[in-house]
């Protein structure tokens, strides 16, 4: 019976041929390394968030009077609800970490350069949408931590003159975080961002498939330096097959990802659940020390350090635009960042500053 179903699908879809040509016989560069698995790992991380998010969505009630209680019921009454919530919360932080590492390695390998400018742009926008996922989902448990952290984050646009206050009111649905804010963030989290992300990810994967996988900058062939005048898909006839060697590397990284996740859930279950994350939101009581999520701490801390708030937020917007448009700005023929001391120095400086602001913000 099973063989008949497989044969029926094979005749109409050609799944076996697709697997043979696009998976088993697909050639990848010889000098490819473990960092190239981070893109696949990011897709797995997104999948985990989607599955656990759907399970949580079944029991969650997006209303200030019921949101906190519904989350507590998920943790205590729903079978394995605590596990799904822990996986979703820990997974969201790991997902953002993986995407950031993926973008860093792509930059270090110089794989953003022509003809992969649009691929980089798609990845950068995916990172921003991932952060939006984290920001919009942060409020949903309606705890003291999520309520006041959202209040802090949504007040950041007010540093912009003229348009800052309207932007903050649009985000909140009023002058403060209320039921309207919760409804907007919930709709944004489950109805607006997922289709946007899927469409963007589809374009990103399509471009990767059409352009081909770029080799590492070490031992780069001469033809990669030639002027780009027509479309040409990068192939690696002298490389090795995707399956089984590179597939095994990907599976190793997936197992490492889940190992880190379950180590945190098992041995450090309160890492992302401080005391304020277990108390219902109280708009009338401001905690002594409240912070946004760790991935928003550097821009938040920078905004606090710069005396002129307009200058601080303008600087951050400029950095985001430079980040997204970097492949179009970088016309240097050298792909290897290690051979470009100025660019390498600027990158290390920015990375160290980001880590310093992150650490400073957590003190």
CATH code, 34-213+240-287: 1.20.810.10
For the question of whether the overall pTM of this predicted structure is more than 0.75, the answer is: yes
* pLDDT number for residue 225: 56
- Which position has the higher pLDDT, 297 or 219? 297
d(CA 216, CA 219): 8
Radius of gyration of the chain measured on its C-alpha atoms: 23
- The model's pLDDT over 18-50, given as tens digits with 9 standing for 90+, comes to 888 877 888 888 888 899 999 999 999 999 999
pLDDT at 363 over 70: no
Only one residue has tokens 């997104």, namely 46
Question: Residue 199: which residues within 8 A CB-CB, separation 6 or more?
Answer: none
Cα separations (Å) of 155 from 84, 150, 177, 181? 31, 8, 10, 13
Question: To the nearest whole number, what is the mean pLDDT of the chain?
Answer: 90
Structural domain boundaries in the chain = 34-213+240-287
Cβ pair 219, 236 in contact under 8 A: no
| Residue 223 pLDDT | 45
Longest dimension (CA), the chain: 72
Instruction: Find all residues with CB under 8 Å of 296, minimum gap 6, and list them.
Output: 131, 135, 153
């Amino acid at each position: 019976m099973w063989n008949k179903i497989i044969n029926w699908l094979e005749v109409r879809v050609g799944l076996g041929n697709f697997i043979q040509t696009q998976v088993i016989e697909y050639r990848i560069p010889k000098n490819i390394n473990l960092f190239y698995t981070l893109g696949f790992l990011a897709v797995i991380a997104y999948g985990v968030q989607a599955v656990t998010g759907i399970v949580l969505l079944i029991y969650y009630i997006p209303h200030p009077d019921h949101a906190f209680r519904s989350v507590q019921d998920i943790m205590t009454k729903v079978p394995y609800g605590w596990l799904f919530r822990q996986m979703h919360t820990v997974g969201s932080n790991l997902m953002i970490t993986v995407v950031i590492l993926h973008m860093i390695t792509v930059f270090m390998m110089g794989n953003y350069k022509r003809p992969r400018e649009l691929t980089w742009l798609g990845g950068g926008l995916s990172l921003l949408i991932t952060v939006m996922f984290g920001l919009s989902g942060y409020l949903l448990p309606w705890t003291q931590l999520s309520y006041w952290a959202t209040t802090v984050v949504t007040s950041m646009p007010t540093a912009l003159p003229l348009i800052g206050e309207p932007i903050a009111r649009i985000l909140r649905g009023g002058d403060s975080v209320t039921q309207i804010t919760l409804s907007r963030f919930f709709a944004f989290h489950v109805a607006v961002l997922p289709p946007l992300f899927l469409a963007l990810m589809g374009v990103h994967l399509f471009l990767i498939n059409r352009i081909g996988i770029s080799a590492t900058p070490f031992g780069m062939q001469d033809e990669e330096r030639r002027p780009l005048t027509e479309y040409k898909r990068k192939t690696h006839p002298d490389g090795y097959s995707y399956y089984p060697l590179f597939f095994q590397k990907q599976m190793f990284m997936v197992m490492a990802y889940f190992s880190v996740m379950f180590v945190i859930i098992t041995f450090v279950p309160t890492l992302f659940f401080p005391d304020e994350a277990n108390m219902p939101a109280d708009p009338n009581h401001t905690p002594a020390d409240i912070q946004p999520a760790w991935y928003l701490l550097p821009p938040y801390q920078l905004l606090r350090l710069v005396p002129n708030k307009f200058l601080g937020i303008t600087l951050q917007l400029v950095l985001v635009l430079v980040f997204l448009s970097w492949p179009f700005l970088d016309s240097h023929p050298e792909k290897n960042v290690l051979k470009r001391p100025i660019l390498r120095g600027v990158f290390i400086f920015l990375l160290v500053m980001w880590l310093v602001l992150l650490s400073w913000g957590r003190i």
